[in-house]
Structure 1
């Protein structure tokens, strides 16, 4: 709970700092008008990502491991459009899933739709101003932390008669690295939960359509058997 609160506070702080530095880019249109603005916007999101990761590592006393995990980062940016469903069509815009990468920073327009599954197995509607970001942990981060951080299942449900746009920055690991739990996160009270894995091979499994990938694919792919 404390970690979640701190993550929320840092996003608020970062946003208002961000606003004072450049003109905010609204994403109510599927296109940005200036490539320089896009570059500046994404650069700021990457800075927010590093800031958030640093805070997580500091809370868990993992400062000595921070730089090497920052150096592993690659980024993918996606602009997503969810159209209004037809009358006889499902309003599920994106099925429930956990993000495979390290962290995701999501920014949406004024059309709601994001829902997160709580630990009580209830879907919570996320109500955010277009001026705020949401940060979600991915499955790879949970492997590094040996299961210490909750990775939320989330989905998009279209309940409004307006097109929804959202922009997401995904942190993914650079290829060619064996990903594994940080050794300090493994002890007698917290036995190893995941075997080392290659992210590119994991992604192939993640999108293979295997039924075991429907919730937490990393557990099915490299989880340690009891």
Structure 2
């Protein structure tokens, strides 16, 4: 059950959503967690252990390759973030002690790209696409529950943005090698630009979220659960009722950490604006209408820690 806003948050009382609970309770708890933290944990989510473990195995297989083999997946850059990246991956604040692989979530892209990623391309493509299908369905379910909890008449107003065949959703693998010093910055402080991000990892801690007064709360690893981050687009679509959560990752001195993140994003030309129900409290939209393509263009010209949404605020 989501934790009351009167209780100081810590690792032991981060909001946990049990999807086997009654639907009305679940939707209200998710909204409460999104308002208070922009973050929650999901258990009994319906995605099998086998699907999750297969995708993690593919991730470990990839990062276990020699550097020249990994680079065949394509070198990520500031102009094209897809592909393989290593450590100091940009000048916008996204530096850290990590390797990553960022891919489009489209099945045809995965099938094509798998040839350069895996020695068994069919196995990689099958595992990743099966995972993407499952986690996309879970993300859509959560977005519908959010709309229900917000009393929005069109309960698919958020979910259809990522159900669209032109969705710009992504899947990312982050790999953190053991470091000589524990708790080095693996991936610096940032928010995610999409609607929702669903993260799972192996059994190694390191993920943290930021709450009031810049306090960082460690998020205990749970390989069988998903951690859900509110992204910038959902902040806009809820007219600021939700806030995208700041988070970061630390390294471990003894074990490698692997995380897999699904970023649910709208199509490039999708118009982003809050539904009427989200305007009732203050009577106007905090943000001007824009497209996801406009936001991405602005996003890639800023540091990750900057207020990216300020550019789109209504004056």
TM over 0.5: yes
Instruction: Tell me: CA distance 1:172–1:24, structure 2 relative to 1, closer, same or farther (3 Å).
Output: closer
Q: Give the one of 185, 190, 204 matched to 1:97.
A: 190
- The count of corresponding residues between Structure 1 and Structure 2 is 216
Instruction: Tell me: CA distance 1:196–1:40, structure 2 relative to 1, closer, same or farther (3 Å).
Output: same
Instruction: Tell me: CA distance 1:223–1:197, structure 2 relative to 1, closer, same or farther (3 Å).
Output: same
Kindly state the Cα deviation for residue 79 of structure 1 after the two structures are TM-superposed. Answer: 1.4
TM-score, scaled relative to structure 2: 0.62
Instruction: Tell me: CA distance 1:102–1:38, structure 2 relative to 1, closer, same or farther (3 Å).
Output: same
Gaps of 5+ in 1: none
Q: Give the one of 12, 15, 23 matched to 2:43.
A: 12
TM-score, scaled relative to structure 1: 0.84
Gaps of 5+ in 2: 5-13, 20-41, 63-117
1:47 aligns with 2:56: no
Q: Give the one of 152, 170, 177 matched to 1:76.
A: 170
Contact 1:103 1:171 in 2 (8 A): yes
Q: Residues of 2 paired with 1:8 and 1:47: CA distance?
A: 17
Contact 1:115 1:124 in 2 (8 A): yes
Instruction: Tell me: CA distance 1:126–1:188, structure 2 relative to 1, closer, same or farther (3 Å).
Output: closer
> Once structures 1 and 2 are overlaid, which stretch shifts more, 136-145 or 192-201?
192-201
Instruction: Tell me: CA distance 1:12–1:90, structure 2 relative to 1, closer, same or farther (3 Å).
Output: closer
Kindly state the Cα deviation for residue 207 of structure 1 after the two structures are TM-superposed. Answer: 2.3
Instruction: Tell me: CA distance 1:36–1:95, structure 2 relative to 1, closer, same or farther (3 Å).
Output: same
1:170 aligns with 2:263: yes
- Residue by residue, what CA displacement relative to the aligned partner does 1:168-208 show, whole Å, maximum 9, x if unpaired? 11011101122112121113536421111122221222221
Contact 1:98 1:216 in 2 (8 A): no
Higher relative contact order (CA 8 A, sep 6+): 1
* Matched residue SS, 2:158: helix
Q: Residues of 1 paired with 2:51 and 2:247: CA distance?
A: 30
Kindly state the Cα deviation for residue 113 of structure 1 after the two structures are TM-superposed. Answer: 1.0
Q: Residues of 2 paired with 1:23 and 1:174: CA distance?
A: 26
Q: Match for residue 60 of structure 1?
A: 150
- Residue by residue, what CA displacement relative to the aligned partner does 1:40-59 show, whole Å, maximum 9, x if unpaired? 22211111101111110000
Contact 1:30 1:165 in 2 (8 A): no
Kindly state the Cα deviation for residue 83 of structure 1 after the two structures are TM-superposed. Answer: 2.3
* Matched residue SS, 1:173: coil
Contact 2:43 2:224 in 1 (8 A): no
Kindly state the Cα deviation for residue 214 of structure 1 after the two structures are TM-superposed. Answer: 1.6
Instruction: Tell me: CA distance 1:139–1:77, structure 2 relative to 1, closer, same or farther (3 Å).
Output: same
Instruction: Tell me: CA distance 1:188–1:8, structure 2 relative to 1, closer, same or farther (3 Å).
Output: closer
Q: Match for residue 230 of structure 2?
A: 137
> Once structures 1 and 2 are overlaid, which stretch shifts more, 22-31 or 45-54?
22-31
Kindly state the Cα deviation for residue 86 of structure 1 after the two structures are TM-superposed. Answer: 5.4
- Residue by residue, what CA displacement relative to the aligned partner does 1:12-71 show, whole Å, maximum 9, x if unpaired? 121xx3338x5542525244872323222221111110111111000001141x334333
> Once structures 1 and 2 are overlaid, which stretch shifts more, 23-32 or 107-116?
23-32
Q: Residues of 1 paired with 2:281 and 2:152: CA distance?
A: 18
Kindly state the Cα deviation for residue 112 of structure 1 after the two structures are TM-superposed. Answer: 1.3
- Residue by residue, what CA displacement relative to the aligned partner does 1:92-114 show, whole Å, maximum 9, x if unpaired? 11111110011000011112111
